[in-house]
């Protein structure tokens, strides 16, 4: 399928794969999408062309900080990534027909006509995948072209609601491009006396022709005098400032014409400087209207389909979309001026030129002619089994093109001899494309692990941000592919038993979980120092994880807290250093009345091992990050070792040459990945994966998670 992107300030139409369908979304075959004037596509292009050169002193300071913390090589990767330019998906308002629905979607069926909203979701593309709360039904196909404005209309409607306009009030709209023009029309049909102001005479004329009776030009008319005459020297009840209005001192102009105890509504983000004297004298309320309405930026609402109670939140972003769609269906709003210019997606340059030269209110992109569909998502019906083969040359598939993956793991993999990054898959097509730019010949897809069932890759690498199930892991292994999971194997005991049963029957299968700290040079050095110890070990490990805002926890990856994400790395380290199995665990978790400090992020777990060793993990999100993230204190045979953030290693009572300090921390990722690929190339090499230890670590992590969630306790393992 085709999709429009912005790449280094240049518009680019790319042939990409169809988006992945999730449980709470629908896939829509796009018929029309809308490009607005003002803050629409034309301005985005211009803004991004200058973006790299803004705030240079701040960026230089940031680069120096990264060099200090991570070293020159890591910083060079970031700079290279920035210079290459991000690929940005464009679009936020479209309409079309539903062609697939997720399992949890109840309101839509295949064949329904809908309008869609959302930046990065309702894209300028042949096919889009949009969550159900960002979609509203359209009565019939004949209204689809006009309904492509629904997202912009919902933004305008939310501005009216924030202004709390009442029948008979007067309202002045600053800026008469797409959004301002819609706000003016909505205010007019709400029974208000509407004043429209802009610096562009053609936009002022457009407003007059659409029924706005009072229109003025910032530069040609005396606005304050005109408002005085119009309102009998009282002033307007409300001023709405749109993001498209570029007038200087716009806030001061608004303060002068609004009445005492009036309202000023600022639509979207913009820099403002308020005159305290005028605001204080008039007791003016300054309000902000951001996007489509309540629910915006709430991941549970937008991506998980959880609606707000109708009785308490009357107007959500989805209900605003429904109202605007109803206005279109009942012919209560005139949108003919917005849709008179129509272009195909391949004529996008002409569409932008039309907006810039003709001062139009926007253009419609038509996808019905020459629509090309890309590859269909894998449906899992056909299974292909084959015997694993050891090869000198390997093709690697990546699941999840996260920032961590692009800056840390993929550069390591690409440097290995006879190893090629062949395929990159991410839920977000833009992420896949951005990652693929650095690896010539690699293919970018939007999708999930199912794509690798028939793909010709030999090895699949799973990013820490990727969402993959135990069934998908087994499905890939059944096809003779090796898997490197750069994340903890988040699962439950039932799933893990299923995985163990698979390995009992398929002993030649290759799976490696990225518990990389045991491959760190510092940990290897400590392991040698304690090799001939006589006493058990006492280990205290402090993990200063940092605070995670509550809204980020709405995502599925935080469903078990950080116990199942980060803590297993340290439990694996304990097992490695002691060389024995844990026999019991005691847990205390933080009890906080406000629920701000989550127990699963703030706990202390003390593990007893078969050889008498006792290892304690203090995990917290409450510490200051300048303290450092990880610190380990180790005691044995009247000796002590302290390791700080894999940068500093100090021994007491050990060899004088033991102490070491490095500039760039090495947590062992490169050594682990190299060992993993070497074991695949050479069947006789030792696999950096111990199923028994993985089972032990998983069991320990699940037990700690259970104890933390119940407020603490002890259990034998």
Give per-residue pLDDT as tens, 337-372: 888 888 998 888 888 888 777 677 888 999 987 654
The pLDDT, as a whole number, for residue 547 is 74
- The answer to whether residue 511 sits within a structural domain is no
CATH code, domain carrying 424: 3.40.50.720
Residues 165 and 236 in one domain: yes
Q: Is the CB of residue 101 less than 8 Å from the CB of residue 109?
A: yes
- The answer to whether residue 45 sits within a structural domain is yes
- The answer to whether residue 380 sits within a structural domain is no
Residues 578 and 709 in one domain: yes
> Residue 70 has what DSSP assignment?
H
**How many secondary structure helices (H) and strands (E) does the chain include?**
23, 31
Distance (Å, rounded) from C-alpha 683 to C-alpha 417? 17
Q: What are phi and psi of 571, to 5 degrees?
A: -60, -40
Q: Which of 366, 385, 415 corresponds to the end of one domain?
A: 366
The pLDDT, as a whole number, for residue 262 is 92
- Does the structure show a pLDDT above 60 at 47? no
Q: Which of 366, 381, 412 corresponds to the end of one domain?
A: 366
Helix (H, G, I), strand (E, B) or coil at 539: strand
The pLDDT, as a whole number, for residue 330 is 93
- The answer to whether residue 493 sits within a structural domain is no
Q: Is the CB of residue 33 less than 8 Å from the CB of residue 364?
A: yes
Distance (Å, rounded) from C-alpha 607 to C-alpha 591? 21
CA-wise closest residue to 239 among 287, 189, 293 = 287
Query: Does 366 or 275 have the greater pLDDT score?
Result: 366
CA torsion angle for 305, 621, 512, 538 (degrees, to 10)?
-150
The pLDDT, as a whole number, for residue 14 is 85
- The answer to whether residue 512 sits within a structural domain is no
Residues 572 and 636 in one domain: yes
CATH code, domain carrying 683: 3.30.360.10
The pLDDT, as a whole number, for residue 257 is 92
The pLDDT, as a whole number, for residue 86 is 75
Could you give the angle at the alpha carbon of 619 between the alpha carbons of 303 and 574, nearest 5°? 115
Highest mean pLDDT out of 222-231, 327-336, 374-383, 639-648 = 639-648
CA-wise closest residue to 603 among 616, 594, 584 = 616
- pLDDT tens, position by position, 459-506: 999 988 787 888 888 888 888 888 898 877 766 667 777 887 888 888
Range of the domain at 198: 154-289
Q: Which of 434, 467, 487 corresponds to the end of one domain?
A: 487
Query: Does 249 or 311 have the greater pLDDT score?
Result: 311
Query: What mean pLDDT is reported for the chain?
Result: 83
Q: Residues 305-318: what's their mean pLDDT?
A: 92
The pLDDT, as a whole number, for residue 239 is 95
- Does the structure show a pLDDT above 70 at 373? no
Residues 619 and 642 in one domain: yes
CA-wise closest residue to 154 among 170, 176, 133 = 133
- Does the structure show a pLDDT above 60 at 40? no
Q: Which of 144-148, 339-343, 668-672 has the lowest mean pLDDT?
A: 339-343
- The answer to whether residue 384 sits within a structural domain is no
Residues 6+ apart with CB under 8 A from 51: none
Query: pLDDT tier at 38 (50, 70, 90 boundaries)?
Result: low
Q: Which of 56-65, 80-89, 163-172, 480-489 has the lowest mean pLDDT?
A: 56-65
CATH code, domain carrying 137: 3.90.180.10
Express as a percent the part of the chain with pLDDT over 90: 41
Q: Which of 71-85, 208-222, 609-623 has the lowest mean pLDDT?
A: 71-85
Residues 427 and 357 in one domain: no
Query: Does 541 or 274 have the greater pLDDT score?
Result: 541
CA-wise closest residue to 67 among 663, 669, 668 = 663
The pLDDT, as a whole number, for residue 56 is 45
Please count the other Cβ atoms lying within 10 Å of the Cβ belonging to residue 584: 13
- The answer to whether residue 95 sits within a structural domain is yes
Residues 170 and 40 in one domain: no
Long-range contacts of 307-313 (CB under 8 A, 24+ apart): 307/133
The pLDDT, as a whole number, for residue 73 is 56
- pLDDT tens, position by position, 552-570: 443 344 445 577 788 999 9
Residues 566 and 687 in one domain: yes
Q: Is the CB of residue 273 less than 8 Å from the CB of residue 294?
A: no
* Whole-number CA gyration radius for the chain: 30
Q: Which of 31-35, 444-448, 577-581 has the lowest mean pLDDT?
A: 444-448
Helices 493-505, 470-478: axis angle to 10 degrees equals 10
- The answer to whether residue 383 sits within a structural domain is no
Residues 72 and 200 in one domain: no
Residues 124 and 58 in one domain: yes
Q: What are phi and psi of 540, to 5 degrees?
A: -120, 120
Residues 653 and 546 in one domain: yes
Please state the domain count of the chain.
Answer: 4
Please count the other Cβ atoms lying within 10 Å of the Cβ belonging to residue 15: 11
Distance (Å, rounded) from C-alpha 187 to C-alpha 42? 27
Residues 125 and 35 in one domain: yes
The pLDDT, as a whole number, for residue 381 is 35
Q: Residues 54-83: what's their mean pLDDT?
A: 51
The pLDDT, as a whole number, for residue 552 is 46
| pTM reported for the whole predicted model | 0.75
Residues 142 and 159 in one domain: no
């Amino acid at each position: 399928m085709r999709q429009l992107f912005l790449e280094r300030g240049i518009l680019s139409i790319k042939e990409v794969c169809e988006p992945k369908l999730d449980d709470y979304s629908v896939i829509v075959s796009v018929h029309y999408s809308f490009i607005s004037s003002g803050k629409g596509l034309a301005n985005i292009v211009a803004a991004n062309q200058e973006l790299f050169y803004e705030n240079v002193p701040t960026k230089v300071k940031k680069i120096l900080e990264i060099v200090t913390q991570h070293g020159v090589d890591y910083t060079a990767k970031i700079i290279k990534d920035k210079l290459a330019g991000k690929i940005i998906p464009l679009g936020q308002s479209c309409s079309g027909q539903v062609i697939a629905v997720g399992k949890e979607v109840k309101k839509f069926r295949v064949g329904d006509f809908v309008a869609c909203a959302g930046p990065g979701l309702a894209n300028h593309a042949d096919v889009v995948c949009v969550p159900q709360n960002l979609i509203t039904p359209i009565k019939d196909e004949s209204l689809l072209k006009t309904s492509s404005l629904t997202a912009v209309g919902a933004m305008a409607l939310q501005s009216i609601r924030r202004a709390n306009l009442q029948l008979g009030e007067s309202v002045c709209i600053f800026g008469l491009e797409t959004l301002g023009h819609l706000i003016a029309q909505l205010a007019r049909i709400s029974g208000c006396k509407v004043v429209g102001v802009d610096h562009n005479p053609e936009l002022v004329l457009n407003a007059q022709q659409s029924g706005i009776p009072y229109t003025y030009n910032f530069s040609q008319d005396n606005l304050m005098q005109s408002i005085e005459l119009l309102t009998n020297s009282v002033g307007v009840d409300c001023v709405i400032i749109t993001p498209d209005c570029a007038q200087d001192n716009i806030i001061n102009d608004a303060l002068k014409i609004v009445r005492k105890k009036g309202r000023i509504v600022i639509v979207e983000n913009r820099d403002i400087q308020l005159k305290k004297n005028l605001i204080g004298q008039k007791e003016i309320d300054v309000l902000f209207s951001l996007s489509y309405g309540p629910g915006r930026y709430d991941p549970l609402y937008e991506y998980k389909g959880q609606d707000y109670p109708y009785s308490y939140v009357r107007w959500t972003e989805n209900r605003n979309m429904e109202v605007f769609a109803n206005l279109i269906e009942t012919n209560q709003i005139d949108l003919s001026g917005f849709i008179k210019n129509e272009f195909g997606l391949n004529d996008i340059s002409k569409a932008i030129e039309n907006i810039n030269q003709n001062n139009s209110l926007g253009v419609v992109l038509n996808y019905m002619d020459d629509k090309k569909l890309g590859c269909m998502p894998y449906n899992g019906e056909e299974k292909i089994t084959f015997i694993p083969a050891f090869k000198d040359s390997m093709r690697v598939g990546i699941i999840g093109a996260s920032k961590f993956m692009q800056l840390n793991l993929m550069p390591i993999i690409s440097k290995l001899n006879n190893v090629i990054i062949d395929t990159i898959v991410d839920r977000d097509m833009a992420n896949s494309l951005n990652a693929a730019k650095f690896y010539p010949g690699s293919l970018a897809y939007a999708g999930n692990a199912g794509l690798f069932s028939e793909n010709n890759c030999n090895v699949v690498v799973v990013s820490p941000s990727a969402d993959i199930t135990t069934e998908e892991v087994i499905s890939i292994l059944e096809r003779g592919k090796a898997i490197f999971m750069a994340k903890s194997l988040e699962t439950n005991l039932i799933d893990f038993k299923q995985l163990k049963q698979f390995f009992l029957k398929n002993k030649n299968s290759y799976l490696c979980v990225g518990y990389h700290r045991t491959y760190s040079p510092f940990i290897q050095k400590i392991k040698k120092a304690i090799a001939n110890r006589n006493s058990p070990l006492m280990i205290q490990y402090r993990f200063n994880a940092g605070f995670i805002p509550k809204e980020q926890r709405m995502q599925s990856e935080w469903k078990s807290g950080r116990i199942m994400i980060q803590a297993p790395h340290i439990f694996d380290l304990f097992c490695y250093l002691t060389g024995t199995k844990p026999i019991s665990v005691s847990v205390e978790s933080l009890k906080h009345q406000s629920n701000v400090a989550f127990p699963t992020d703030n706990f202390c777990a003390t593990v007893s091992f078969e050889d008498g060793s006792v290892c304690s993990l203090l995990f917290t999100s409450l510490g200051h990050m300048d303290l450092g993230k990880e610190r380990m204190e180790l005691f044995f045979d009247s000796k002590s070792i302290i390791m700080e953030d894999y940068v500093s290693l100090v021994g007491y009572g050990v060899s004088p040459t033991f102490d070491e300090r490095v500039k760039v921390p090495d947590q062992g990722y490169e050594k682990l990945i190299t060992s993993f690929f070497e074991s695949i190339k050479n069947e006789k090499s030792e696999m950096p994966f111990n199923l028994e230890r993985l089972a032990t670590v998983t069991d320990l992590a699940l037990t700690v998670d259970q104890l933390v969630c119940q407020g603490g306790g002890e259990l034998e393992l």
